[in-house]
């Protein structure tokens, strides 16, 4: 994620540099927190005891457990608004996953807003996937892709976590909260989230999801942008 920020900052003064899509998974697994989120929300001892790293994202949002999921980063120049750019990126991803059987994903989301979700003392203030705001990628109202964006001038850095398995349900065990709140948080995550496997009706591996995104994201976003320029991709 530090490399994602480097790529974004390199493009502030270098308009000639190409747009980039990066796709990666995590080993060891890790928790990332938003760049404005307090580290106090994370139980660092619990993370260390199970070998989970903790990092701060250069983008916003709340805690995400990166375990057997696919993380994406899009670094691109854009003069459109935050939501329009976000929606273009997520819509291109949704279209890219259709050949896997993900035809029931939609860019809808719930009725919550950022201020409500991030209200101090609420469970939704701790974890990204605990709530679905507007402009979310959902399946039957449940969140499948959590995304966060940050602007560096005209350069956009957008991160996202694409759920493939149920491993994200372990996140409450790694947060600094009471056992009662952990139980409530897990129930909330079970109710509010779905995985790409749920959507497709079969397991989807990291490699399969990454290959679909790698092959189809570029033409999909170019079509949505009505542009001819290709977006180079790296798959570390």
Q: Residues 47, 128, 222, 227: which is the catalytic one? A: 128
pTM: 0.87
**In the sheet where 70-77 sits, what is the strand order?**
106-109, 134-139, 142-152, 155-162, 70-77, 20-24, 233-234
Which two three-digit tokens encode residue 76?
């691109």
The per-residue pLDDT for 221 is 84
* DSSP designation for 67: S
- Phi-psi bin for 14: left (phi > 0), alpha (psi -120 to 50), beta? beta
Beta bridge partners of 143: 138, 193
Q: Is 222 helix (H, G, I), strand (E, B) or coil?
A: helix
The per-residue pLDDT for 126 is 65
Q: Is 162 exposed, middle or buried (0-12, 13-18, 19+ CB in 10 A)?
A: buried
The per-residue pLDDT for 115 is 52
The domain spans of the chain are 2-234
**The CATH number of domain 2-234, selected from 3.30.930.10, 1.10.3720.10, 3.30.70.340, 3.30.390.50:** 3.30.930.10
Contact predicate 57/32, CB 8 Å? yes
The per-residue pLDDT for 27 is 95
Long-range CB contact pairs, 43-48, < 8 A, 24+? 43/174, 43/175, 43/176, 46/173, 46/174, 47/174
The per-residue pLDDT for 133 is 62
52 CB neighbour count, 10 Å cutoff: 22
* pLDDT tens, per residue, the chain with 236 residues: 999 999 999 999 898 998 999 999 999 999 999 999 999 999 999 999 999 999 999 999 899 999 999 999 999 988 777 888 888 899 999 999 999 998 778 877 555 555 554 455 555 556 778 766 667 899 998 999 999 999 998 999 999 999 999 999 999 999 999 999 999 999 999 999 999 999 999 999 999 999 999 999 888 887 776 543 444 444 43
128 catalytic, yes or no? yes
């Amino acid at each position: 994620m530090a490399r994602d920020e480097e790529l974004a900052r390199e493009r502030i003064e270098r308009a000639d540099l190409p747009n980039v899509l990066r796709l990666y998974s995590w080993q060891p697994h890790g928790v990332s927190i938003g760049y404005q989120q307090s580290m106090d929300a994370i139980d660092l001892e619990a993370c260390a005891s199970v070998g989970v790293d903790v990092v701060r994202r250069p983008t916003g949002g709340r805690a995400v457990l990166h375990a057997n999921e696919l993380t994406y980063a899009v670094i691109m120049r854009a003069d459109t608004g935050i939501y329009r750019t976000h929606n273009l990126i997520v819509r291109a991803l949704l279209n890219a996953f259709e050949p896997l059987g993900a035809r029931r994903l939609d860019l809808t989301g719930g009725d919550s807003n950022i201020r409500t979700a991030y209200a101090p003392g609420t469970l939704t203030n701790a974890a990204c996937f605990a709530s679905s705001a507007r402009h979310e990628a959902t399946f039957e109202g449940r969140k499948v892709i959590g995304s966060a964006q940050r602007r560096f001038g005209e350069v956009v850095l957008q991160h996202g976590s694409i759920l493939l398995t149920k491993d994200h349900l372990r996140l409450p065990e790694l947060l600094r909260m009471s056992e009662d709140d952990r139980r409530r948080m897990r129930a909330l995550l079970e109710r509010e989230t779905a995985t790409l496997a749920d959507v497709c009706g079969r397991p989807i591996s990291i490699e399969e999801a990454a290959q679909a995104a790698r092959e189809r994201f570029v033409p999909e976003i170019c079509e949505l942008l009505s542009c001819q320029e290709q977006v180079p991709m790296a798959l570390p």
